[in-house]
Structure 1
């Protein structure tokens, strides 16, 4: 494997590792800010998944012979800052949950791009074990994105349109008839 290619893989892996470790810090706050139980559960579950993803990245870094720490992911810094702004600028409820889903899906799409690239590079370099680990994470990121879409479509968006809390029968039964 050409040294420049291996170095590039290492840099991209470090960037992705930074993104995931930043997400480990952000997900508990996002879960706390979510008012929809299904969304809160999704954030909490993804926190556990992200911890395993960080461990996989550490294994791939070892295979590459590089330190997983090094590059700082500025893109994830921006995405996390956006999520923090959402919490600060919106009152608790389904509209904020819809905004949180938007922020979370931006994160997922960034991660899907990162893992897709790393997986393709590992395959090109003949590093099948690394490619398999990265492909496992790529699938998890896609699954999380799909789950967030389902939560938005089934719970959050309809509640936000009604102006009522998702999954709250007491709030659904009160108020004016629509």
Structure 2
């Protein structure tokens, strides 16, 4: 009997551990499903694939005004981002690599200026530190983020030469997605 009790305790502990592991997996599934539903719902907001890209006015790092419509006739990748956003930082190398390999495509990073407390020098230093050689423009008051319906960053739009949105990505881009824009 003395040998049975420790064995019984071991089986109960093992059973309890397996039950806890199962419960944890079920909870992870629920969180994942909720996250997928959230992403699907925010994808329906703002500018959609097939629509004309709204013309927006942005500020360059040297404080000049630029309209998106000035790039009509070119393929454009319009990437809404912020310096404080880890997923935005994660995609910078892929964006920069793509930019270096495809100079015929206009790569535009639209920086969140409000979240940066309107500190242009901070953004300039961030751009230099991260070797961002593609065009960085500033959304001075958040109007352009709102015009495109951007509520999660990074959000990126691929725009064809006719000004039509042909792809929308919420979340960081991969090299594979960027290269699909070449077709």
The TM-score with structure 1 as length reference comes to 0.26
The TM-score with structure 2 as length reference comes to 0.26
Structure number with higher helix proportion = 1
Structure number with higher strand proportion = 2
Which structure: larger Rg? 2
